[in-house]
Amino acid sequence: MTDLTPNIPEVVAEISARFEAYEQALIDKNVDVLDAAFWNSPYTIRYALHENGYGFQEIHGHRVARPPGPGIKEKRIRLEILTLGRDIATVNLEFKVRGRDVIGRQSQSWVRFPDLGWKVVAAHVSTMEGPRLW
């Protein structure tokens, strides 16, 4: 039976470090680090604000075309990390969009591959227009 123990501390620390490295690479436009975070597969998907990336090659192409800089994130509102066992994780970030009264949402699904280590297999970035319902 597969171990799906939630949030083993050392696994959460691993994913947290990888997520923070990814976030810094977005700011720096470090395409090598961004590419290394994602599974190099035609099955990998990344939905972004202005493009849909189906497969690693499309995702890479969008990264190369994107300008460097701080991006759309002005302030983090909530970061949630869930790990299941030692090989599955999700990261979800809610943030304030820079210069707008809009909430952004980012999600990543991570899998630890035996020969590759941790890789994002699916990701999504979107905004939530209108008032929050909470």
User: What are the backbone angles phi and psi of residue 5, rounded to the nearest 5°?
Assistant: -55, 125
Taking only the tens place, the pLDDT of each residue in 22-72 is 999 999 999 999 999 999 999 999 999 889 999 999 999 999 998 877 789
Which CATH number is 9-128 given?
A: 3.10.450.50
State the Cα–Cα distance between residues 47 and 13, nearest whole angstrom: 26
Check whether 20 has a pLDDT greater than 90: yes
Res. 129: pLDDT tops 90: no
Q: Higher model confidence: residue 66 or residue 106? A: 106
63, containing H or E segment? helix 56-65
Convert 8-47 into a string of H (helix), E (strand) and C (coil).
Answer: CHHHHHHHHHHHHHHHHHHHHCCHHHHHHHECCCCCCEEE
Q: What is the model's pLDDT at position 70?
A: 78
Task: List the Cα angle 98/54/74 in 5-degree steps.
Answer: 10
Whether residue 19 contacts residue 33, with contact meaning beta carbons closer than 8 Å, is answered with no
Give the per-residue pLDDT at 104: 96
pLDDT tens readout for residues 72-88: 999 999 999 999 999 99
- Give the HSE-up count for residue 28: Cα atoms under 13 Å, Cβ half-sphere: 11
Q: Does pTM surpass 0.85?
A: yes
Better pLDDT: 36 or 2: 36
Q: What is the mean pLDDT of the chain?
A: 94
Give the span between the Cα atoms of 106 and 75, in whole angstroms. Answer: 13
Query: Where do the structural domains in the chain lie, given as residue ranges?
Result: 9-128
